[in-house]
Amino acid sequence: MAKDGKGDDLPAGGISRRDFLRGGAAVGALGSAGLLAGEMAEGAKAKPAPRMEAGVEVFGPGPVPVRLRINGKSHDLNLEPRTTLLDALRDHLELTGAKKVCDRGTCGACTVLLDGAPVYACSLLAIDVQRQPIATLEGLGRPEKLHPLQAAFVDNDAQQCGFCTPGFIMAAKALLDHNPTPSLGDVHHGLSGNFCRCGTYAGMRQAVLAAAPLMAGGFEEEPEEPEEGSGAEVIDDGDAVDAPKPASRNKKKKKRRGRG
């Protein structure tokens, strides 16, 4: 402070009222240049450089780019690293076939195929399954063009509330893709990771056995798009029931995995 409370004499390191006003005028004169610098700083904040900790690139906690390969098409999303595959499908891509029931890897309602193997989508992080082929119920068929398994579930009265049904159908598809002629015991085992609270197990097992010869009869799967594609796309028809082509079943061998 000035000795008399009004003058410019200040203790060392202080700033006088006159200096303050001079500085303010200078900032005003800089005007838009100062603003531009501020915007540039904001821009730098919006696109942070990759964060490294102990030599490892750290993602998040904010949204980061994630590319998912679903039903033969690529989808580019911005997701928080904590986002599960199930939430990415349901909340970001409107693919609601996989159901959220327990959300803790015990019921199978969220079953999708990851590289041909059944997994619980609620128990995987989307960021961890980038570029691996993911198949969901939406890729199998449509109401007017059902997949053999979907048609067999209807014909065998294999659902009541239907909440568990998409997960069972995906688990059954994984089973039949790996074992085209399963025994009843094989079907029991193949569906053992899924619960049906309505108790329609008998109908579902019959449906899987009924669909097996239809799927083994052969049909061409839709060719996948190049991975460069992105954004929300129309869902593939997949291997739909009304287009069987004898002896041309996709014989791709896929490595079976345990549930995620």
Q: Does the protein bind ligand FES through residue 129 (CB under 6 A)?
A: no
Q: Which of 80, 91, 103, 221 binds ligand FES (CB under 6 A)?
A: 103
Q: Which of 67, 100, 256, 257 binds ligand FES (CB under 6 A)?
A: 100
The C-alpha angle 49, 50, 52, rounded to 5 degrees, equals: 125
Closest CB to ligand FES among residues 74, 156: 156
Q: Does the protein bind ligand FES through residue 198 (CB under 6 A)?
A: yes
Report how many residues bind ligand FES under the rule CB under 6 A: 23
Closest CB to ligand FES among residues 96, 244: 96
Instruction: Tokens for 237, please give them.
Output: 């028809």
Closest CB to ligand FES among residues 170, 240: 170
For the bound state, the minimum distance from the C-beta of residue 38 to ligand FES, rounded and expressed in Å, comes to: 46
Q: Is the peptide bond before 61 cis (omega within 30 degrees of 0)?
A: yes
Window contacting ligand FES (CB under 6 A); options: 87-95, 131-139, 162-170, 208-216: 162-170
Q: Which of 1, 161, 216, 232 binds ligand FES (CB under 6 A)?
A: 161
Question: By CB under 6 A, what part of segment 141-160 binds ligand FES?
Answer: 159-160
Give one DSSP letter per residue of 61-97, joined into a string: SS-EEEEEEETTEEEEEEE-TT-BHHHIIIIIS---S
Measure the CA–CA gap between 189 and 74, rounded to whole angstroms: 32
Q: Which of 22, 131, 197, 245 binds ligand FES (CB under 6 A)?
A: 197
The C-alpha angle 209, 214, 215, rounded to 5 degrees, equals: 90
Would you mind telling me the total number of residues written for the chain in this entry? 260
Measure the CA–CA gap between 108 and 50, rounded to whole angstroms: 36
Q: Does the protein bind ligand FES through residue 200 (CB under 6 A)?
A: yes
**Torsion, CA 71, CA 124, CA 166, CA 94, rounded to 10:** -60
For the bound state, the minimum distance from the C-beta of residue 194 to ligand FES, rounded and expressed in Å, comes to: 8
Closest CB to ligand FES among residues 100, 257: 100
Q: Does the protein bind ligand FES through residue 107 (CB under 6 A)?
A: yes
Count other Cβ atoms within 10 Å, centred on residue 115: 15
For the bound state, the minimum distance from the C-beta of residue 85 to ligand FES, rounded and expressed in Å, comes to: 10
Closest CB to ligand FES among residues 30, 161: 161
Burial class (CB in 10 A: 0-12, 13-18, 19+), 152: buried
Give the bridge partners for 69, in sequence order: 74, 133
Residues that bind ligand FES (CB under 6 A): 100-103, 105-110, 120, 122, 159-165, 196-198, 200
